[in-house]
Amino acid sequence: MASLSGISSRTPLALFFFFCCCCCFAATASAQLSSSFYNASCPNALPIIQSAVKAAVAKERRMGASLLRLHFHDCFVQGCDGSVLLDDTSSFTGEKTAGPNNNSLRGFDVVDAIKSKLESACNQVVSCADILAVAARDSVVALGGPSWTVQLGRRDSTTASFSSANSDIPRPDFNLTDLISAFSNKGLATTDMVALSGSSNNDTDIDSSLAASLRSSCPSSGDDDSLAPLDASTPTAFDTCYYRNLLSNKGLLHSDQQLHGGGSTDSQVSSYAANSAKFFGDFASAMVKMGSISPLTGSSGEIRTNCRKTN
């Protein structure tokens, strides 16, 4: 999945993340959500989101990864509550300028367009947090990946956390132990982490020819518009090439190659490299678990009419 985007030469976290339960925590949260939540109140909600995502990805394939990354970064900070979409206000600094997000998160305009269509169809019914969850699924499908049933009924946060965005989203220089811990803190198992994968910064033990190529296209003094694909083989498709690259020490980022470097996750990477059906199934399951992290439900939060600001 990490094959879907590129990374800026100067912004180490210019990629969608993860990253993006074996836990009663996720099971409890999931029980508060329902796949049929909008069936009566806004029956066209999911088709409206799907149509908009298809159009956005058709216009720019990389947008699929960007929309998926928004959902990841939203869920890892305060839970899946749409907080990542909030602009700064006089009372709080939003998450958009935090280290993992600044000058790298994108797709906000696509979310705005989706929200506008939904407000016209069903005023103040569909939350921004649910838009992110459904758009992530539809983006993966549009790029040839698996589908899954999205649980719905999240409400939107009325605040955001700049500090939590800096502390809770896994960093590109994390080793395997750090990654396992970061995901465990969110109720996600190690198997979920490997399925969701990814993040930033070139590793020191990658294939020498790949390293030379990356230094040429992304020099340390380069500009923020230079991009390098996480998977040079099929950068705009959802497939298992990312894992096959790890077997050849061709992971672009330090945290990528940590997944296959003599540690406990090597066998899972090898399994995914050889069996796309296994990867697709595990990825879909992990996305459902991640989407159930601490949702606001019932009377908590609100349904924003504009995803960039509170009502």
State residue 68 phi and psi, 5-degree precision.
-65, -40
Q: Is 138 annotated as a binding residue?
A: no
- For the record, the structure tokens of 237 come out as 């498709």
Q: Is 266 annotated as a binding residue?
A: no
Q: Is 81 annotated as a binding residue?
A: yes
- From the candidates 71, 73, 254, 260, which is the catalytic residue? 73
CA distances from 258 to 43, 95, 175, 196 (A): 44, 27, 6, 14
Q: Is 141 annotated as a binding residue?
A: no
Does 260 qualify as catalytic in the annotation? no
DSSP assignment of the chain? -GGG-EEESS-TT-S--S----SHHHHHHHHT-BTTTTTTT-TTHHHHHHHHHHHHHHH-TTHHHHHHHHHHHHHTTTSSSSGGGPPP-SS---STTSTTTTTT---HHHHHHHHHHHHHHSTTTS-HHHHHHHHHHHHHHHTT----PPPB--BB-S---HHHHHHHSPPTT--HHHHHHHHHTTT--HHHHHHH----S--TTS-HHHHHHHHHHS-TT--TT-EEES-SSSTTS-SSHHHHHHHTT--SSHHHHGGGSSSTTHHHHHHHHH-HHHHHHHHHHHHHHHTTSS-B-TTSSB--SBTTB--
Q: Is 158 annotated as a binding residue?
A: no
Q: Is 74 annotated as a binding residue?
A: yes
Q: Is 224 annotated as a binding residue?
A: no
Q: Is 28 annotated as a binding residue?
A: no
Q: Is 79 annotated as a binding residue?
A: yes
Residues in the annotated binding site = 74, 77, 79, 81, 83, 95, 170, 231, 234, 239
Name the binding residues for Ca(2+). 74, 77, 79, 81, 83, 95, 231, 234, 239
Binding-site residues for substrate, please? Answer: 170
Residues designated as active site: 73
